């Protein structure tokens, strides 16, 4: 399943071309298209560094290696680059991803950057419910199925009856005012 993208590739490219080829100002293009100036500047920097590929929306499922994360974090910690510059250099789509890595590094150390992503692991031993066959049941199978249904109904009625009796006892125990 694909993630929803707010601004598609064609829109981004059109905005960039207005600024670069038609020599329109950034403030004019942002006002005309109703986007934030910082977003337009981000698109421009990615376009200048990576070309048209820098504008293509990326999946959220990008997995980064631990060494890659550590290198990016150390550059930021040494104040060599700003967060946005580091994102541009390492082609990371969101500053929040980088901020998350820095936060984890500060709290838990470098080893946490090498751990796999959290979440529910894929269960490969998942057993699907058996499909109902088209062939009719034998008389014995029908009787077994009916017997099971009657047992379930009987158990349900017993529980319901016990619940009613319990409520009656509670009402009898309450003192009348």
Encode pLDDT of 19-29 as tens digits: 988 888 989 99
Q: Is 47 contained in some domain?
A: yes
C-alpha triplet 82, 83, 88: angle, nearest 5°: 95
Give 134's Cβ-side CA count (13 Å radius).
0
Residue 100: what pLDDT? Answer: 92
Mean pLDDT of 58-74: 84
Q: Is 102 contained in some domain?
A: no
Q: Is 32 contained in some domain?
A: yes
Residue 63: what pLDDT? Answer: 83
pLDDT at 1 over 50: no
Q: Is 123 contained in some domain?
A: no
DSSP H helical segments within the chain, as ranges? 9-20, 26-33, 37-50, 66-77, 83-90, 95-108, 139-173
pTM for this predicted structure: 0.56
Residue 3: what pLDDT? Answer: 53
Helix or strand or coil: residue 68?
A: helix
pLDDT at 155 over 70: yes
Confidence of residue 176 (pLDDT cuts 50, 70, 90): low
Q: Is 75 contained in some domain?
A: no
Q: Is 15 contained in some domain?
A: yes
CB neighbour class for 93 (10 Å; exposed up to 12, middle 13-18, buried from 19): middle
Q: Is 95 contained in some domain?
A: no
**Which structural domain, as residue segments, surrounds residue 22?**
7-57
Domains: count for the chain: 1
Q: Is 30 contained in some domain?
A: yes
């Amino acid at each position: 399943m694909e993630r929803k993208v707010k601004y598609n590739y064609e829109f981004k490219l059109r905005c960039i071309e207005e600024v670069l080829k038609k020599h329109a100002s950034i403030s004019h293009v942002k006002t005309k298209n109703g986007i934030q100036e910082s977003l337009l500047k981000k698109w421009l920097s990615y376009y200048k560094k990576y070309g048209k590929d820098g504008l293509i929306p990326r999946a959220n499922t990008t997995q980064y290696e631990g060494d890659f994360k550590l290198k990016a974090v150390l550059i930021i910690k040494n104040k060599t680059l700003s967060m946005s510059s580091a994102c541009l250099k390492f082609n990371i789509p969101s500053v929040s991803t980088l901020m998350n890595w820095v936060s984890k590094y500060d709290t838990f150390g470098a080893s946490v950057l090498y751990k796999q992503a959290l979440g529910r692991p894929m269960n490969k031993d998942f057993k699907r419910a058996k499909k109902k066959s088209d062939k009719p049941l034998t008389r014995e199978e029908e009787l077994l199925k009916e017997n099971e249904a009657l047992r379930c109904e009987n158990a349900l009625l017993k529980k319901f009856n016990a619940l009613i009796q319990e409520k009656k006892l509670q009402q009898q125990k309450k003192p009348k005012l």
